[in-house]
A and B are shown apart, each in its own frame.
Chain A
């Protein structure tokens, strides 16, 4: 107890990032002063935080210690430490609500710190939209355990049994006499719980306490405003891109002019006249310029002359030939077809057989802010400031890449531009660390727009062939789905041998990832089915700008477009209403795991009800004269246990091919809603992101390089595309909202998934023309309309 204590800088830094109004002085006044007087063993968070006071090393916070997760301050507030990141979907606010409920504190009494490897336990950062679904559980359990421990302490203090006590907003009082009470702060404020938890892994972390039944949750379910928004609109937030450290240099990458080219030589004299050039770094085919000032680095990267040898074989076909190439290519792998019933017999006896090809090109993350990282090698450590949603993976990957002890590397997670999957922020983190390691000075790497749009990871291109059989009554009797995707060498997160800099340096795994092609996620009862998938490769596997990596629901939009648009074709061919056709298919489903059939029916019906005035009729819609034709399109899917049904109303201008989605309706079921307002906004923005992919987004390339490199050549949805009305219905909880264990499922990706299909179906309803190739840019729509007339 005698070790002198320094202020826990790591916590202070973390708190400042989430709440810039919290000055060091204020923090000291509110909680730190007492801590200062208590000695190191009394530090909330324990040994780990004490070590973080010095400049490393940075051991992993111990997830089996309650103090790692929750700190009670002397002013009867609490700070929660969780190993997740929040890309702006409000998960931080939701986690706080979940932990508040279990701990019985008011939301306003708490704070939350996320995702920095030295201050929060390793929950892996974000990914798969399972933060609420999976990682929320250990958070709930540790908060429940803290409440249990506090109740025991109070029982001792007040000299009465635990079941004679009640808790409200961090105050424990006697049920019989509320004047007999003690606050959490009086029990442990500024001190350690010193309570060990159990669990084989962090997801299993638990104490002795049980979580509350759903019916007792009070903070959960409230539409609480996100804590991170005020600082994002008043310019007080320090973003990752704002970080500056003493002696910091600015770097820019220089990419090969032709994909797969080999660096022959660099003419350093070409940038000699630019002031501030510190070094031109090259290793294999990785090239960067490092300068004193940012504008100098931009100029040097632009002016640097280098000689490159193009690859012997062309890296890829031009994007206009992509789907012909995909269909002709020999697959690198094919799945064993999944067959139910007897599709061949069903097709042989069908009254009608439909067949169609669906195509989705490569689509990119194209973050609004190009990839970024700052790495600081001071004091023999490596600190990386990043918005990488998998900060823990970045830390481990960089340690391996640079051969540094893992506890000498930390990633400080800070807000940044969108992180809907495996973005290039992974790559920038490695590049910054490499350059900082080489130069022995802090280096800030910022990708340029052309680099981000051309070289970030891409969602795989898909070519799907579907066949369906209808009997004489218009019933769907058989369906075949055969899909090919270019997903060979799919990148994982933060691997030291697959990040772009490693590939360019020639440091690669012995084998590529096999990649995968997905099948649809629906709950349809179709008696005879055949599902087959294949992965195909482009000629250039490494060092390519067409690297595939997870992009928001990695295969969902592509697969769901093909499947749900084809179901729409079948409904139209059967002269059936597209909603009724789907409802009957769901009702015919034999499975009902996690009530998925019942919840699917409820979601579809809720979407139709919210639409209002849904006319039961087959598509297409009988059109009046004039250039503007209107139609509606419905699509349904699930992602894991979350169910969604969407309806799009479109206007198609027959003279220009322009498509405007006027209105969107969404019925969404993700189980227990933690924060209905944040949930609705995430669902809304997920839909619109899907709309952008349906209408605009396409990576284009010639036989050497990506040619869509900015917002003119790679358009994205704009204000003028925005629907004039969006209705979101949360059908969460059906069929039994009163069950005590109603789970909370993820919501970050499901509403994004059916959008291409919904828009395609609406265009058909409006025009009678099937769009089977995304995106539905006006030139493509106009061409399809003309073809339909001729």
Chain B
């Protein structure tokens, strides 16, 4: 065991762990985060994705002690109480079925749009291809990403509310 320092969602943490422990288990079990989830432990499905210095990274295979950069998890996307546009688009398009993989979908999409704010359909398919969904929400995911892109293009958030979703849910 040894002390490992991690910068997660802007906060510094020190954990006393076997330094070879994959980052995923430290985030979930030591820091109590719920965004990144275990899917394969092999870096093949993307369910555990976090963003480190702008790159979408599979946390299930990365030793915690090997992380140098700042880590952003799904919990860190919302700013000042407002959802990230991708999160809002995921709600507007009603993307998830079970939702278990959606951490990886959203984090992969964020890294994609940060790198390429105006991707073509082919670039969305290629950029997202490593993020698996067994409920097969891919078509809805593409719609949500395009919704964010078109809202950016229009330069207005109003464009983000034109879909078939009809929000009648209110806070109770």
Contacts and interface: CB of A to CB of B under 8 A. Distances in A.
A33 to B, nearest CB: 17
B101 to A, nearest CB: 5
Contacts of A534: none
B3 interface: no
B109 to A, nearest CB: 10
Contact of B132 (A87, A244, A415, A716): A716
Contact of A718 (B42, B74, B129, B166): B129
Interface string A402-433: 00000000000001111100000000000000
A573 interface: no
Nearest to A276: B18
B37 A232 contact: no
Interface residues of B, number: 69
A339 interface: no
Contact of B139 (A233, A234, A417, A726): A726
A684 interface: yes
Nearest to A86: B98
Among B35, B41, B78, B99, the most chain A Cβ lie within 10 Å of the Cβ of: B99
B158 to A, nearest CB: 19
B12 interface: no
A235 B136 contact: no
- Give chain B's interface secondary structure class: loop
Contacts of A242: 28, 34
B99 A415 contact: yes
A449 B39 contact: yes
Given A295-B22, A368-B39, A418 B100 contact: yes
Contacts of A416: 98, 100
Contacts, number: 198
Contacts of B42: 449, 710-711
Contacts of A692: 136
B8 interface: no
Contact of B94 (A226, A446, A449): A226
A190 interface: no
A724 B74 CA distance: 28
A448 interface: yes
A785 B38 CA distance: 40
B165 A717 contact: no
B100 A417 contact: yes
A225 B41 contact: no
Interface in B99-129: 99-103, 106, 121, 124-126, 128-129
B44 interface: yes
Contacts of A19: 172
B44 A225 contact: no
A278 B39 CA distance: 25
Interface in A632-689: 677-678, 681-682, 684-685, 688-689
Contacts of B124: 719
B136 A239 contact: no
Contacts of B125: 719-720, 722
Given A233-B106, A681-B94, A691 B136 contact: yes
27 contacts: A77-B172, A88-B98, A89-B97, A108-B170, A224-B169, A225-B91, A227-B169, A229-B96, A233-B99, A234-B83, A235-B73, A241-B37, A275-B18, A293-B25, A368-B134, A369-B100, A369-B101, A416-B98, A418-B97, A710-B42, A711-B44, A711-B45, A711-B132, A718-B129, A722-B125, A722-B138, A722-B139
Given A108-B172, A224-B169, A235-B34, 13 more contacts: A225-B166, A225-B167, A228-B99, A233-B74, A233-B91, A235-B73, A235-B75, A295-B25, A368-B135, A369-B47, A418-B134, A449-B40, A720-B125
Interface of B: 1, 18, 20-22, 25, 28-29, 32-35, 37-42, 44-45, 47, 73-75, 77-78, 83, 87, 90-91, 94-103, 106, 121, 124-126, 128-142, 164-172
Interface of A: 19, 21, 77, 87-89, 107-111, 222-230, 232-239, 241-242, 244, 275, 293-295, 298, 366-370, 415-419, 446, 448-449, 677-678, 681-682, 684-685, 688-689, 691-692, 710-712, 716-724, 726
